[in-house]
Amino acid sequence: MKYPILVPNIFNHPFTYESNLTLKVGDYVMVPFGKSKITGVVWDEFEKNKNKNFKTKKVIKKLDVTPLKKNTINFLNWFAEYNLIPKGMALKLVLLSSDAVENKETQLYQIFDSKIKQNLIKLSSDQNKSLKKMNVSNKKFRVHVLQGTTGSGKTLVYFEALKPLIERGFQGLILLPEIGLTSQFEQKFLEYFGFKPALWHSGISKKNKELIWSGVSNGKIKIIIGARSSLFLPFKKLGMIIVDEEHDQSFKQDEGITYNARDMAISRASFENIPINLITAVPSIETFENIKKGKYEVSRLNERYQNAALPNYEIINLNNTKLEKQSWLSNKIIEKVNLHLEKKDQVLFFLNRRGFSPNALCNKCFTSFTCPNCSINLVYHKNKNNLLCHYCGYKSDLKRNCKKEGNCEFIFSGPGVERISEEVKRKFPGKKIEIFSSDTMNKKDSKEKIDKIINNETHILVGTQLISKGFHFPSLNCIVVVDIDISSQGHDLRGAEKNLQLYHQLSGRAGRTGKPATVYFQTYENNTKMISEITSKNPDIFLERELEIRKKNKLPPFQRFISLILTGDNEIKLEKEAINFKNFIENKIEGKILGPVNAPLFRLKRKFRIRFLIRGLKSMKLQSSLAKIIPKYKFSSGIKLSVDVDPINFN
């Protein structure tokens, strides 16, 4: 008998194989492919091959794996169509290194035993109202948004919503935006439920991933807490999806297969016919618009847990004070921080910039040091004593031959967290100080560092936006935003929205246990209206206005954007190709094509980049028209096209 088998490769169709075995849609099989063997899945339709006389190969064997569910296959077909990728690459996201993991002995899954302990946690009346809206009683698709002030106990509400589902044998998926959040979150989960969840992200060992993949597939593992990729696990009986910090830009996968994990999670919940809950303090503009249209239900937690007060805000006008040479902290800030330290408050200095300095230049020849692979400055990391490209990872030491004579004499322009940390050490001697960024918190000792922060053994933190993402530090009652002007500039379509979310999240780290807390903003900006707007207790006012601007200018979420990027080694050849490509597709797509233009980051990883932006109505017609026309265009050798549906980053 003939079967359609989809393999995890760049093909948009299954291949036809023969087998004497009785196979059904969703079965995992081993098949010959070229000169090797490969894992495939029996798919839901045959390849559309007009040549009926092709020779079919035989299925080698059926694997001992719980079959992939039909609604998961439907989701993957839709995912491929929406994001303009081959179906085989969508399947690759499900498999583990292109393989399926066969079932293991039952006792191996016992470490994830899901016996729930009894706990006596009393929810507030607002929390109880939100819980009732979370659709725990029936298994039907709907999107519910739990919008709550930072520290209002949103996590407790969805833990309570998951509890009856686990007891009834369903599985739950909690999506988090950052790997760095998982260890503290795992502890919170363990304290509440009394059993270990399975963690899924790029830092998990291959052996553990194999155990978790098979345990999710056969239903032995009930709860997954994971980053973006956990969305594609082959759940046997998924009952609810939670997307925590739904507004977070980290849910967008920008490399390889591009997709927005939040949007794809909503789609997967729809295909599974299960509820999904989006959790946020400040919703994304798309979510806010869907709440307004009535597509999403919403419940709100307006009070912090145990009625803890929100922090106060104070603006330090740098125009009225003279900063010392090579200093970024005003005397007024030093005074304020000392008062907090006397009260045993923990302090955070916030600057959203890694490393020591974003610009290194020679004092003699005035050469600014840029990455040889990318059109971007190298960032000086003093702790590692090197210059580093944050895009391609290129590293260089500081020894350079000067164009004038001898070696270059470096001067460093602008601060990063390492530079602020040095100044903090000088100004507050004897205090324990920790840098909190992706350079320091994705290491093996990060759990130990976080425990010290929680126990107030660390007095001062110097951190990037990583710290704003859901951590609970009980003693943190003073936050100093070193330079709000840096992050309020730029030409990002989502700049205002990002700032609103960032500073709400950031201020939410302070005053969580009831002590008075203050967020200080250092700024040269005389117009302080922006700061008061982005820190307002009611972010909806800001979002309403932002939505009006988007509507007027026909921007997302009112139109669909699709970004096309052409890359190549030869700049002139790439420019010619871009014009030819535009002429070829321009009148054959259901949208307007803008460009070609050089990408703001024109060179990345040694490749030149040219961008197009296609805008059109919010329907699948735009993707369908592109899917038909793009394969008909033959690109010159060395030129590659990448597609990003609903782009967030416009570099």
Q: Which residue has the tokens 């790029």?
A: 202
From CA 349, how far away is CA 478, in angstroms rounded? Answer: 9
Whether 60 and 30 have beta carbons less than 8 Å apart is answered as: yes
Whether 278 and 262 have beta carbons less than 8 Å apart is answered as: yes
Could you tell me the domains of the chain? 2-94 (3.40.1440.60), 106-306 (3.40.50.300), 308-356+415-546 (3.40.50.300), 560-645 (3.30.70.600)
According to the model, what pLDDT value does residue 527 have? 66
The whole-model pTM stands at 0.93
Tell me the Cα Rg of the chain.
27
Q: Which of 367, 359, 331, 393 is nearest to 522 (CA)?
A: 331
Neighbours of 334 (CB within 10 A): 15
Q: What is the DSSP letter of 636?
A: P
* Residue 90 CA: distances (Å) to CA of 83, 218, 236, 264, 631: 10, 21, 18, 12, 18
Question: In b/e form, how buried is each residue of 81-94, taking b as 16+ CB within 10 angstroms?
Answer: bbbbbbbbbbbbbb
Q: Phi first, then psi: give them for residue 275, nearest 5 degrees.
A: -70, 150
The distance from CA 204 to its chain's CA centroid, rounded to whole angstroms, is 17
Residues sharing a CB contact under 8 Å with residue 299, sequence separation 6 or more, in sequence order: 129, 130, 133, 144, 145, 146, 147
From CA 600, how far away is CA 602, in angstroms rounded? Answer: 5
Question: In b/e form, how buried is each residue of 419-453, taking b as 16+ CB within 10 angstroms?
Answer: bbbbbbeebbeeeebbbbbebbbeeeebeebbeeb
Q: What is the DSSP letter of 629?
A: H
From CA 55, how far away is CA 489, in angstroms rounded? Answer: 61
According to the model, what pLDDT value does residue 53 have? 66
- Burial of residue 146 (CB within 10 Å: 0-12, 13-18, 19+) is buried
From CA 419, how far away is CA 380, in angstroms rounded? Answer: 10
From CA 220, how far away is CA 81, in angstroms rounded? Answer: 32
Residues sharing a CB contact under 8 Å with residue 177, sequence separation 6 or more, in sequence order: 227, 244, 245, 248, 250, 251, 469
According to the model, what pLDDT value does residue 50 have? 57
561: amino acid identity, one letter: F
Q: What is the DSSP letter of 316?
A: E
Q: Which of 18, 99, 11 is nearest to 63 (CA)?
A: 99
Question: In b/e form, how buried is each residue of 365-374, taking b as 16+ CB within 10 angstroms?
Answer: eeeebbbebb
From CA 478, how far away is CA 496, in angstroms rounded? Answer: 24
From CA 79, how far away is CA 73, in angstroms rounded? Answer: 10
Helix (H) or strand (E) segment spanning residue 175: strand 171-175
Strand partners, 357: 380
The distance from CA 175 to its chain's CA centroid, rounded to whole angstroms, is 10
531: amino acid identity, one letter: I
The distance from CA 156 to its chain's CA centroid, rounded to whole angstroms, is 22
Neighbours of 16 (CB within 10 A): 16
Helix 446-454 vs helix 182-193: crossing angle, to nearest 10: 60
Cis check: omega of the bond before 596, within 30 degrees of 0: yes
Whether 41 and 91 have beta carbons less than 8 Å apart is answered as: yes
What are the counts of helices (DSSP H) followed by strands (DSSP E) for the chain? Answer: 17, 30
Q: What parts of the chain have a pLDDT lower than 70?
A: 49-53, 135-138, 306, 442-444, 485-492, 526-527
Q: Are strands 476-481 and 518-523 parallel, antiparallel or unpaired?
A: parallel
The distance from CA 298 to its chain's CA centroid, rounded to whole angstroms, is 23
Helix (H) or strand (E) segment spanning residue 579: helix 571-585
Helix (H, G, I), strand (E, B) or coil at 597: strand
